C-alpha cells in the first residue's frame, strides 16, 4: 500500500513499504557512520520560539508553531536538524572536544510552493562534526555519505558538487547572498579588478566544472583573499583524494543555496533514483557560527551533511519477506494453536499473519483490501488447508512447503 495524503494538505500517512525503505537506507548509513565513531542522537522536536527564530534566516511563516493553551506558551517544531543539534551542543556546560553525531528525525517545514507530492512533515538524516575547523572532517563526512549511498540498490550516484560562497564574500562581505537575490550584476559593481571579475564571471556562467579544471582557472586570480578561499577547496579535495573518494567531483560557483546558513563551504551529492535523473539527495557544509547563534559564548566550528532519506524512500522499493495470511475461524483457534506453530516454523521465510475471523464468509474482503495486495492466503478450517495467491509460483512454493504438514 502506498503512502497517502491525509485530510491536512501535504501531510502524509506513511505506509509500511515506505517506512521499510527509510529504515533500510538509514541502517546502511548508520552502520557506516558507527564504524567512523559517530554516535546516534535524537533531539527534541520542540524548540523555544524566540531563541530558534533568532538563530535562523528562515521567515517565521515557514516554521510551524506548537501551543500549550493552559501555560499560554508557544514553541516551534524543528525545521532543521543542524540547528537542533547545534542548539544541543551550545547548551552543554562546557565547550566540547570534537563530537561526531548522527540523527534520523522528523522535520516540519511550511513552504509556499504547491508542489505535487511535497511534504511538510518528512524525515531527514543528518551527520555532523562539532568542535574542529579542520577540513578533514568535511572530507570524512562526504566520504561516509557517498559510500553509504553507493551501497544502496537503486541509487546511481552522479557526482559530488563543491561550492564556496566565501569566494564572493572575499570580494565584499555578504556579496554571495546579494548575488543570490539580486543577480550577478552585484559582482560587476564591485571594486574587484576587471581580470579577476572576468574569471569569476566565466566560472559562474559555466555552472559546474571538473574540480581540477576549476583549480587551473582559479590559479590566474590575483586577489589574495579569493586565493585563500580557493585553498580551502583544495584542502577538502586533497583530503578526499587521501581517503580515496570513489566519486566524480565538480565545482560550482553559481550555487548559492544556503548562503544564509552555511559559512562558506557547501557540498551537494546528486544521483539518479530509478527513472528520475539528477536528484539532489544530500546537502551540507560548514556551519561554524550556528552554535554561537544559540549561545554567544560558544564559538564552535562545525560541519554537517543532511541526507534526503524521505525522497529516497519515496522513489525506491526494498524487498522484504512476503506476507502470508493464515485465516481460520476464531472458534477453532485454541485447538489449532499447535498446528499454527508448525505452519509458522515451516514458513519461516515469510511474514505469517494469523487472522482468526468469526466466520470465513468474510474472507473475500481481504482479496479487495489495499493492505493485502499481492499477499498469499492460507485458509485453515477443520484441519483442511487451502492456499490462494495471484502468483502461481508463490502458491506452488507454499503448497510444497506445507505438504509435509498436510
Torsion of CA 196, 199, 204, 205, to 10 degrees: 140
Q: Write the pLDDT tens digit of every residue in 270-329.
A: 999 988 899 999 999 999 999 999 999 999 999 999 999 999 998 888 888 888 989 888
Looking at residue 406, what is its pLDDT? Answer: 57
- Give 8's contacts (C-beta < 8 A, 6+ positions apart): none
pLDDT recorded at residue 57: 85
Residue 385 has a pLDDT of 87
Q: How many CB atoms lie within 10 A of CB 48?
A: 15
Q: Which residues pair with residue 201 across a beta bridge?
A: none
What's the whole-model pTM score? 0.88
What does the pLDDT profile of the chain (406 residues) look like in tens digits?
678 889 998 899 998 889 999 999 999 999 999 999 999 999 999 999 999 999 998 888 899 999 999 888 999 999 999 999 999 999 999 988 999 999 999 999 987 556 666 889 999 999 999 999 999 999 999 999 999 999 999 999 999 999 999 999 999 999 999 999 999 999 999 999 999 999 999 999 999 999 999 999 999 999 999 999 999 999 999 999 999 999 999 999 999 988 788 999 999 999 999 888 999 999 999 999 999 999 999 999 999 999 999 999 988 888 888 889 898 888 888 888 888 899 899 999 999 999 888 877 777 777 778 888 888 888 888 878 889 888 888 889 988 888 876 5
Q: Which whole-number Å values give the CA distances from 53 to 58, 82, 121, 287, 329, in the listed order? A: 8, 14, 19, 16, 58
Q: Coil, strand, or helix at residue 264?
A: coil
| Residue 292, C-alpha cell as written in the block | 554561537
Q: What integer pLDDT is reported at residue 95 of this predicted model?
A: 86
SS3 of 115-128: the string is CCCCCCEEEEEEEE
The pLDDT of residue 358 is 83
pLDDT digits (tens, 9 = 90+) for 212-222: 999 999 999 99
Q: Which residues contact 58 (CB under 8 A, 6 or more apart)?
A: 79, 80
Amino acid at each position: 500500500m502506498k503512502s497517502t495524503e491525509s485530510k491536512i494538505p501535504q501531510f502524509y500517512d506513511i505506509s509500511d513499504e515506505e517506512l521499510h525503505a527509510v529504515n533500510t537506507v538509514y541502517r546502511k548509513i548508520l552502520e557506516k557512520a558507527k564504524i567512523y565513531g559517530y554516535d546516534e542522537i535524537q533531539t527534541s522536536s520542540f524548540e523555544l520560539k524566540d531563541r530558534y527564530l533568532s538563530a535562523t534566516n528562515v521567515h517565521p511563516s515557514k516554521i510551524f508553531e506548537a501551543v500549550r493553551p493552559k501555560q499560554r506558551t508557544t514553541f516551534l517544531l524543528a525545521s532543521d536538524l543542524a540547528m537542533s543539534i547545534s542548539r544541543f551542543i551550545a547548551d552543554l556546560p562546557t565547550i566540547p572536544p570534537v563530537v561526531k553525531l548522527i540523527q534520523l528525525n522528523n522535520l516540519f517545514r511550511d513552504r509556499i510552493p504547491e508542489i505535487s507530492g511535497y511534504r511538510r512533515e518528512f524525515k531527514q538524516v543528518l551527520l555532523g562534526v562539532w568542535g574542529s575547523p579542520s577540513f578533514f572532517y568535511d572530507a570524512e563526512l562526504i566520504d561516509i555519505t557517498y559510500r553509504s549511498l553507493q551501497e544502496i540498490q537503486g541509487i546511481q550516484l552522479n557526482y559530488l558538487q563543491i561550492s564556496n560562497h566565501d569566494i564572493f564574500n572575499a570580494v565584499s562581505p555578504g556579496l554571495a547572498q546579494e548575488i543570490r537575490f539580486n543577480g550577478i550584476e552585484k559582482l560587476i559593481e564591485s571594486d574587484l579588478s576587471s581580470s579577476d571579475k572576468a574569471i569569476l564571471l566565466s566560472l559562474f556562467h559555466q555552472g559546474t566544472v571538473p574540480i581540477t579544471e576549476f583549480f587551473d582557472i582559479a590559479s590566474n586570480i590575483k586577489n589574495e583573499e579569493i586565493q585563500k578561499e580557493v585553498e580551502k577547496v583544495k584542502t577538502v579535495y586533497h583530503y578526499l583524494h587521501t581517503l580515496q573518494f570513489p566519486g566524480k567531483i565538480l565545482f560550482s560557483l553559481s550555487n548559492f543555496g544556503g548562503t544564509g546558513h552555511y559559512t562558506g563551504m557547501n557540498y551537494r551529492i546528486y544521483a539518479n533514483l530509478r527513472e528520475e535523473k539528477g536528484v539532489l539527495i544530500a546537502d551540507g557544509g560548514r556551519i561554524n557560527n550556528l552554535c554561537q547563534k544559540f549561545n554567544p559564548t560558544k564559538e564552535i566550528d562545525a560541519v554537517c551533511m543532511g541526507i534526503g532519506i524521505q525522497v529516497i524512500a519515496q522513489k525506491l522499493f526494498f524487498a522484504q519477506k512476503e506476507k502470508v495470511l493464515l485465516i481460520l475461524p476464531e472458534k477453532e483457534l485454541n485447538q489449532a494453536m499447535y498446528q499454527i506453530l508448525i505452519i509458522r516454523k515451516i514458513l519461516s521465510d515469510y511474514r505469517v499473519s494469523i487472522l482468526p475471523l468469526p466466520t470465513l464468509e468474510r474472507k473475500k474482503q481481504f482479496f479487495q483490501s489495499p493492505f493485502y495486495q499481492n499477499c498469499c492466503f492460507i485458509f485453515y478450517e477443520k484441519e483442511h488447508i487451502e492456499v490462494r495467491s495471484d502468483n502461481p509460483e508463490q502458491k506452488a512454493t507454499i503448497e510444497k512447503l506445507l505438504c509435509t504438514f498436510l
